[in-house]
Structure 1
Amino acid sequence: MPRINPRQLAQNLRQGLYPLYVVTGDEPLLVQECCDNIREAARKLGFNERELLHGENNFDWGQLLSAAGSMSLFADKKIIELRLPGGKPGDKGSKALQEFANNASDETLLLLVLPRLDRSQLNSKWVKALESRGVLVQIWPVDASEMPRWIHQRLRANGLNAEPEAIQILAERVEGNLLAASQEIEKLKLLANDSVITAETMSNAVASSARYDVFGLIDKALAADAAGAVRTLQGLRAEGVEAPVVLWAIAREIRSLLEIQKKLDEGQPLNRLVRIQKRQPLVQAACQRLHPSHLESFLLRARAVDNAIKGGREMDPWAGLLELTLNLSGKRSI
């Protein structure tokens, strides 16, 4: 079966259900929506039972094969959803997945959710085995140049229309965060009144999106205002901002600081690396305060928080976000 992208999934599901689906990518919103669409299509065909497995370190791969063989004579069809945050099943996992693929039946559906796979992983025996019996959905990041088109399509799908300038305002505001863009579009549905969304309406909508702003959180942390950053974090949580949105902003800034430090060491000027003038002193102070080794350790912690958000680790994601906020502010975590 050819590999497909999220836009092709709906048509693929209408043509019939396969016993195996592999969803791979690093865009949480698109991954979630693809999984939702697959589950919904399966439920319409009688897959009313669902078993969720987390393939972390020391995962017993016998659970996967056991789940496939545990159905009774009168049981409903079953969805087996396996989340593999690391993306690498190892030797035991590879053999188990190949065995599952070889014995796939119409009574079970495997939904395997992974981060983006590199070329060597895509060419591995276990991926090839799964593809031979199912569908691989590849989710690629939406870059800055594609973001206005993605927002326009999303608006149209929600019955909305907007001026090009309004779309550009939203694209700049969310800076590549699809989840944040989707949330803004949901709010715009309340403001549209069946008319075209103007640039003025969009500006007012995104400016009043939250009293505690994720970008304000980042700026306070860069300024070493730990107390202010923590208050903003608490405000974001109280206002119902989703943890993945906050994590995205923090992780994005950490990666940006690492890249800026590398280019500063190569002799490039800060004003060329940071175009927004008011942020230059904040970034400069953070680069002087935080060593690259610190930032790399923060990224590892961010991955752990992402794992917790996805249900693969027993920890409070907001506790992890608090720790990252303090770290980025130059403070040790409590």
Structure 2
Amino acid sequence: MPKLRPEQLSAALTKQLASIYLVSGDEPLLIQECCDQIRAAARKNGFSERELYHVDTSFDWGQLLAAANSLSLFAEKKIIEVRMPTGKPGDKGGKILQEYAQSPAPDNLLLIVTEKLDGATQKSKWFKAIEDASQHIQVWPVTPAQLPRWIGVRLQQSGLHADSDAIDLLASRIEGNLLAAAQEIEKLKLLATDNRISYELMASVVADSARYDVFGLTDKALHGDARAAVRTLQGLKTEGTEPINVLWAITREIRALIQISQAVAQGKHFEWAAKQAGVWDKRQPLIQSALRRLKPAQLQQLLRKANGIDKAVKGMRNAEPWDELLDLILNIAGVQSLNMHNERLSLRN
């Protein structure tokens, strides 16, 4: 089946429900909304039960086969959702996915959710088998140039009309975090008069959105200001910010640093590499400064730590996400590990 963009999914679901869906990409909001649409369409078609599986290195792929072959006691049709962040099922998992793709169970809907799939994965046998048998929704990042239009469409879908300078203000404020944009739009729905969003209203909402913001946190850490980064992290926690939102912003920065570092190592100019990674011009000096401090091996270690925190947030690891976020932020700022000195640092002021 041809690949779909997220904006094409709704129309496709009204025509025909596929037996397998693959949703891949690195935009959490769009990934979640695509999955929500698929689940809603499935429920309308009688898939009233849902089984959820999180894939890691210890995952027993036999569970998927058992789920596919078992009859439900409570429903005739069920959704089998497989969350596979790395997009790498391993040899056993790949064979099982190939086997399932060859003869999907008619009373099951298989939903596979992954991060962006690399070139090697897209050449694998399991991927080709799944893609041939599935509807693949590929979620691409919204670029800085596309962001104002994306915000404008989102506002219109919410029944709001905004001045272009108001849209540009929000775009510059959220710097690519679509989840943050969606949250700001929800606030605007409550505050708008006659569904109009002026620059003044947008400015007031943006100013009041948070005393401690996620982007300020990442900037302070990248700058190497550990004390300020810790204070901001504490503020975000106190204000009730979800740890997954903090982790999203941090992980995005780490991935950008890795992408730029690899491109520069291959002889590319820093400015070109930064643009390809979606780094705004005004933030490029900050990124360049961080790359002088953080070496490639350290960046890979930071990404592994971020993946571990993601599992803790999802309940797949017995760990406190906020404690590990503190450790991660300190590492980015140049403090190597969480120890008593760092704990004292976090408690001051």
> Greater CA deviation, 60-69 or 102-111?
102-111
- Residue in 1 that maps onto 2:190: 190
Q: How does 1:180-219 map to 2 (within 5 A)?
A: 180-219=180-219
Return closer, same or farther for 1:61/1:284 CA change in 2, 3 Å cut-off. closer
> Greater CA deviation, 6-15 or 240-249?
240-249
Counterpart-to-counterpart distance in 2, 1:95 and 1:262: 34
Classify the secondary structure of the residue corresponding to 1:136. Answer: strand
How far is 1:245 from its partner? 2.7
> Greater CA deviation, 219-228 or 39-48?
219-228
How far is 1:103 from its partner? 2.6
Counterpart-to-counterpart distance in 1, 2:188 and 2:205: 7
- Residue in 2 that maps onto 1:248: 248
Q: Deviations over 1:246-266 (max 9, x none)?
A: 223323444555637986998
User: Are the aligned partners of 2:189 and 2:195 in contact in 1 as well (CA < 8 Å)?
Assistant: no
- Residue in 1 that maps onto 2:329: 325
1:150 maps to amino acid: W
Counterpart-to-counterpart distance in 1, 2:122 and 2:287: 38
Query: Is 1:294 paired with 2:298?
Result: yes
How far is 1:160 from its partner? 0.8
User: Are the aligned partners of 1:247 and 1:306 in contact in 2 as well (CA < 8 Å)?
Assistant: yes
Return closer, same or farther for 1:286/1:112 CA change in 2, 3 Å cut-off. closer
User: Are the aligned partners of 1:173 and 1:206 in contact in 2 as well (CA < 8 Å)?
Assistant: yes
Counterpart-to-counterpart distance in 2, 1:162 and 1:305: 37
Identity of aligned residues (%): 54
Counterpart-to-counterpart distance in 1, 2:199 and 2:21: 41
Return closer, same or farther for 1:260/1:204 CA change in 2, 3 Å cut-off. farther
> Greater CA deviation, 101-110 or 3-12?
101-110
User: Are the aligned partners of 1:151 and 1:181 in contact in 2 as well (CA < 8 Å)?
Assistant: yes
Query: Is 1:316 paired with 2:320?
Result: yes
How far is 1:3 from its partner? 1.3
User: Are the aligned partners of 1:67 and 1:80 in contact in 2 as well (CA < 8 Å)?
Assistant: yes
> Greater CA deviation, 82-91 or 231-240?
231-240
Counterpart-to-counterpart distance in 1, 2:163 and 2:139: 28
2:98 maps to amino acid: Q
Q: How does 1:19-30 map to 2 (within 5 A)?
A: 19-30=19-30
Counterpart-to-counterpart distance in 2, 1:73 and 1:290: 54
Counterpart-to-counterpart distance in 2, 1:7 and 1:269: 33
Query: Is 1:305 paired with 2:309?
Result: yes
- Residue in 2 that maps onto 1:98: 98
Query: Is 1:125 paired with 2:125?
Result: yes
User: Are the aligned partners of 2:261 and 2:296 in contact in 1 as well (CA < 8 Å)?
Assistant: no
Return closer, same or farther for 1:167/1:106 CA change in 2, 3 Å cut-off. same
2:155 maps to amino acid: L
Q: How does 1:108-257 map to 2 (within 5 A)?
A: 108-255=108-255
1:206 maps to amino acid: V
Counterpart-to-counterpart distance in 2, 1:262 and 1:71: 50
Query: Is 1:2 paired with 2:7?
Result: no
User: Are the aligned partners of 1:177 and 1:245 in contact in 2 as well (CA < 8 Å)?
Assistant: no
Return closer, same or farther for 1:298/1:47 CA change in 2, 3 Å cut-off. same
> Greater CA deviation, 311-320 or 40-49?
311-320
How far is 1:313 from its partner? 4.1
1:333 maps to amino acid: L
User: Are the aligned partners of 2:151 and 2:181 in contact in 1 as well (CA < 8 Å)?
Assistant: yes
How far is 1:75 from its partner? 3.4
- Residue in 2 that maps onto 1:43: 43
Counterpart-to-counterpart distance in 1, 2:54 and 2:169: 39
Classify the secondary structure of the residue corresponding to 1:193. Answer: coil
User: Are the aligned partners of 1:27 and 1:139 in contact in 2 as well (CA < 8 Å)?
Assistant: yes
How far is 1:311 from its partner? 5.0
User: Are the aligned partners of 1:85 and 1:307 in contact in 2 as well (CA < 8 Å)?
Assistant: no
Query: Is 1:107 paired with 2:107?
Result: yes
Q: Deviations over 1:120-144 (max 9, x none)?
A: 4334322232233331111111111
TM-score (norm 1): 0.88
Counterpart-to-counterpart distance in 2, 1:25 and 1:223: 28
Classify the secondary structure of the residue corresponding to 1:190. Answer: helix
How far is 1:284 from its partner? 7.2
User: Are the aligned partners of 2:163 and 2:198 in contact in 1 as well (CA < 8 Å)?
Assistant: yes
Counterpart-to-counterpart distance in 2, 1:264 and 1:324: 25
How far is 1:177 from its partner? 1.1
